[in-house]
Amino acid sequence: MANLKDDYKNKVKTYQPKPPYFKNCLKAFIVGGLICAFGQAISNMYINFFHFTEKTAGNPTVATLILISALLTGFGIYDRIGQFAGAGSAVPVTGFANSMTSAALEHRSEGIVLGVATNMFKLAGSVIVFGVVAAYVVGIIRYVYGLAF
């Protein structure tokens, strides 16, 4: 019986198309790089036009990328980018904003509180909790390390 299953798997495998790994990696690399280059351009805009320092330009840059990603998700454009680029569109800030906005849009018919807010923070909740706990642990380690030296 096992031999029959193996024969079937081998016959099916010969007819299956091979995934274009190199092409997919190239698309992900290019789109992810373009998103990061766009983020750098926004940061440079804040530095040059609004006289932020490199250190203080980070927060408005991240906020702008989140806003743009949420808007593109709402208009259905970010989904097309994700279908084309795959993992390249999952650059941390824009990918997280896309996933939160998608969850909110998916459940908007259930109302603002029980639909949008509840389902949007199902995903964000675990990320926020992990971030807070990790920051607490790192803070304790740094505090203990500071006392030792």
Query: Is 8 inside a domain boundary?
Result: no
Q: For residue 22, which phi and psi values (nearest 5 degrees)? A: -65, -45
Note the pLDDT tens digit of each residue in 5-54. Answer: 888 888 888 888 888 999 999 999 999 999 999 999 999 999 999 999 99
Predicted confidence (pLDDT) at residue 2 exceeds the cutoff of 70: no
Q: What percent of the chain has pLDDT over 90?
A: 53
Q: What is the model's pLDDT at position 108? A: 79
* pLDDT score at 1: 62
pTM: 0.74
More confident residue, 86 or 149: 86
Across the chain, the runs of DSSP E, i.e. the strands, are none
8 A C-beta contact, residue 91 and residue 111: no
- Whether residue 96 has pLDDT greater than 70: yes
3-state secondary structure of 75: coil
Residue 138 lies in a domain: yes
Segment 112-134 shows an average pLDDT of 79
SS3 label, residue 1: coil
- Based on the structure, what is the number of domains in the chain? 1
Both structure tokens of 65? 């990328």
Whether 102 maps to a domain, the answer reads: yes
Residue 7 confidence (pLDDT): 83
User: Is 3 part of any domain?
Assistant: no
Q: Output the CA–CA distances (angstroms, integers) from residue 57 to 23, 52, 92, 106, 123, in the order listed.
A: 35, 5, 18, 33, 27
Determine, yes or no, domain membership for 94: yes
Tell me how far apart the alpha carbons of residues 34 and 61 are, in angstroms, rounded to a whole number: 15
Q: Of residues 81 and 104, which shows the higher confidence score? A: 81
What is the residue whose two structure tokens read 């530095």?
47
Domain interval for residue 57: 21-148
